[in-house]
């Protein structure tokens, strides 16, 4: 989960969102915190979350793990390449 940062640590970004969008300041601050939380997610957390989401959508494990493997390199900070076996081990231990 996201570590709480001081309210002023992202004021410049919040100010930019308020100027460049129709978002009120409170919503812009929430968006910044949501984005930071998204990018704070570890590789393992991402793999588990995406597995749950794709499984809930009816996808089968072979397609799920191939899709996750294809998505990982496009993360903001791409993790090292993981094999399908490594992905399964993250989910199932």
8-53 confidence digits (pLDDT tens): 579 999 999 999 999 999 999 999 999 988 888 899 999 999 999 9
Instruction: Count Cβ atoms within 10 A of the Cβ of residue 86 and give its class: 0-12 exposed, 13-18 middle, 19 or more buried.
Output: middle
Query: SS3 of 40, please?
Result: coil
The upper half-sphere exposure of residue 31, i.e. CA atoms within 13 Å in the direction of its Cβ, equals 15
pLDDT band at 78 (very low <50, low <70, confident <90, very high): confident
Q: How far apart, in whole angstroms, are the C-alpha atoms of residue 50 and residue 53?
A: 5
Q: Of 51, 55, 39, 37, which is closest to residue 90 (Cα–Cα)? A: 51
For residue 24, the model assigns a pLDDT of 97
């Amino acid at each position: 989960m996201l570590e709480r940062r001081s309210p002023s640590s992202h004021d410049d970004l919040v100010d930019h969102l308020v100027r460049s969008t129709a978002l009120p300041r409170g919503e812009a601050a929430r968006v910044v915190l949501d984005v930071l939380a998204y990018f704070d997610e570890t590789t393992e957390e991402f793999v588990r979350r995406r597995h749950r989401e794709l499984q809930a959508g009816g996808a089968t494990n072979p397609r799920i793990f191939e899709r996750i493997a294809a998505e990982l390199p496009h993360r903001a900070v791409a993790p090292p390449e993981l094999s399908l076996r490594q992905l399964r081990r993250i989910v199932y231990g």
